[in-house]
Amino acid sequence: MTEFLPPALILLAGAILIGPLRGHLRSAVVLVAPLLTLWAVWQVPDGVVTTAPFLDYVIEPVEGSPLRRLFATIFALMAFVGGLYAFRQAKWYELAAGYAYAAGAVGVSFAGDLITLFIFWEMMALFSTVVVWAGGTPAARAAGIRYAIMHLLGGIILKVGIEGVVVHTGSIDIQPMLATNFDTWMVLIGILINAAAPPISAWLADAYPESSPTGSVFLSAFTTKTAVLALILLFPGEPVLIWVGIYMVMYGIIYALLENDARRILAYSIVNQVGFMVCAIGIGTQMALNGAAAHAFAHIIYKALLFMSAGVVVYRTGKSKCTDLGGLFRTMPLTTICGIIGALSISSFPLTSGFTTKSMISEAAIGEGLVLIYMLLTAASAGVFLHAGIKFPWFVFFQKDSGLRPKDAPWNMAAAMVIFAALCILIGIFPEPFYQFLPYTTDYVAYKPGKVLFYLQLLLFSGLAFFLLLPLMRRTLTISLDFDWLWRVLFYRAGGALLRILAGIGSAIEAGIRAWVSSLRDVARRHLGFVESNRDYGIFARTWQIGTTALWIAILLSVYVLTYFIS
């Protein structure tokens, strides 16, 4: 029997209660359930705490470690702040789905075996799809279907890999592995789909911006970061992840620079930032894994803050395209300030959380002699400042005066943004207490004069380049083609053409069958019925004399006897 219930069950119970409860009781559940979950997270000791029999295996729903506790902590905290941000504006079923989604992430954090991990993994896919659908528009419903298909595909691939690992090793334990055979490659690919690794990454920028202003905040936090946790647990030091991460970093920058929609800019920057984490996991040293975990923690905070500020803009104006926005700082000062803090954090500006976490990854790369990787990550930091650090706040809150004069954020949205903005600053100014919770002991010093000066120069020159190239940065109403063009356009058209070909073949076969049946009917009429023209009965329909009948019976019987003796 179990000795300790998974903390995820508390959050899941809260999700179940949100529906039937009303008024202040629902608000209380929304705000209290994540805090109780956070308390339960810190009651979980290191090691396997809970076991239960399942088929021929013993599953481990709760296994504690500093790494698992760190991720579960930020997931529970995200659920609380996300619930605070959303509880007065979101529909009840969106809140319930968002909390069940967060419960799946907490469950993945403590899963000690592959079966438990897969169950919570699919639970996340299910309820995150509902969050996308809660956007309530035809575009949201279509994006939700595409999102569900992609995650169904990823879940199937992951399940195939897990079954192969279990069959060939006899173990369901979560332990480090390398992609050396079909089974482990399937596990790796299934996880990378959730991490939004190209070419299967367009689902993120397709679905997240179509959700509601509150739903996108939940979506920004859980799916890709649980994938990062799974990669740390299962594939630390996998060399291919270095180059997958670099590809994600550059891909996210390019597409975010081309994008016109504010929330799509932030969605592509998720891919970019997760790329830093994936690259660090590929490096695989203790410093790199600390950097990946720390950056995932900080990323959830500043990315949610950015989506919150963008969500307030969409909520107040109904617009999300940069070409429709501008000048909002006049009437939305708090949202503007919080958006700028999030933008500086994602850009690794000194005294923000991004600087104290992302720089750890670069330090790990240079510590392993990966000079090229270090240089690419450094260049990418400049690119992040261009698309998320400057482009997002500039085009949304400043640039031209759009004439819009919306109110600032409602109090609950404002409170949620202030909490995360404060955490961005606190972790940036006082990183050492935060470092104590990382999975490995570290003596990393974030603020060295040379490093601070280097990053300031890098970011300031990036900002100068942005304004010098501002005419090229201005967006128009264009569409950026991504890999999803293959299945949304090419495969769709190819499938339509194939269906038309098959329909033509089917019609030809049907016409042939009809002609054959018609000729068979004519033969039957001639021999078994009568010919319509002269009412002449067919040979088998005529009245035969008894002698003729007896003769035919004798002939057929003789043929049968002869055949029997010959055989």
Q: Give one DSSP letter per residue of 98-133, joined into a string.
A: HHHHHHHHHHHHH--BHHHHHHHHHHHHHHHHHHHH
Which residues have a Cβ under 8 Å from the Cβ of 403 and sit 6 or more positions away?
Answer: 327
Please name the helix (run of DSSP H) or strand (run of DSSP E) that holds residue 64, with its range, or none: strand 57-64
Tens-binned pLDDT, residue by residue, of the chain (567 aa): 334 778 999 999 999 999 898 888 999 999 999 999 999 999 999 988 888 888 788 888 999 999 999 999 999 999 999 999 998 888 999 999 999 999 999 999 999 899 999 999 999 999 999 999 999 899 999 999 999 999 999 999 999 999 999 988 888 899 998 888 899 999 999 999 999 998 888 899 989 999 999 999 999 999 999 999 999 999 999 999 999 999 999 998 888 888 888 899 899 999 999 999 999 999 989 999 999 999 999 999 999 999 999 999 999 998 888 888 888 889 999 999 999 999 999 988 899 998 999 889 988 998 888 889 999 988 888 888 777 778 888 888 888 887 888 898 999 999 999 999 999 999 999 999 999 999 998 888 888 888 888 888 888 887 777 777 766 666 666 677 777 788 778 888 898 899 999 999 999 999 999 999 888 887 777 766 655 555 556 666 667 677 777 887 888 888 888 888 887
* The predicted structure's pLDDT at residue 490: 86
Q: Cα–Cα distance between 461 and 44 in angstroms, integer? A: 46
Q: Which residue has the tokens 């504010």?
A: 262
CB–CB of 392/339 below 8 Å?
yes
What are the angstrom distances between the C-alpha of 201 and each of 1, 143, 193, 342, 564? 41, 13, 7, 23, 71
Of the candidates 434, 134, 447, the residue with the CA atom closest to the CA atom of residue 290: 434
Give whole-number Cα distances, 47 to 9, 65, 66, 440, in Å: 19, 6, 10, 16
> For residues 293 and 439, is the Cβ–Cβ distance under 8 A?
yes
Would you state the torsion angle of the CA atoms of residues 214, 217, 219, 224, taken in this order, to the nearest 10 degrees?
Answer: 180
Distance set, CA 272 to CA 45, 299, 503 (Å): 34, 11, 44
How many other β-carbons are positioned within 10 Å of the β-carbon of residue 470?
13
Q: How far is CA 108 from CA 105, 227, 319, 336, in A?
A: 5, 9, 35, 35
Q: Give the bridge partners for 537, in sequence order.
A: 530
Rounded CA-CA distance 286/236 in Å is 10
Q: What pTM was estimated for this model as a whole?
A: 0.86
Domain ranges for the chain, please list them.
Answer: 1-235, 236-483, 489-566
> Residue 87 has which token pair?
């509880």
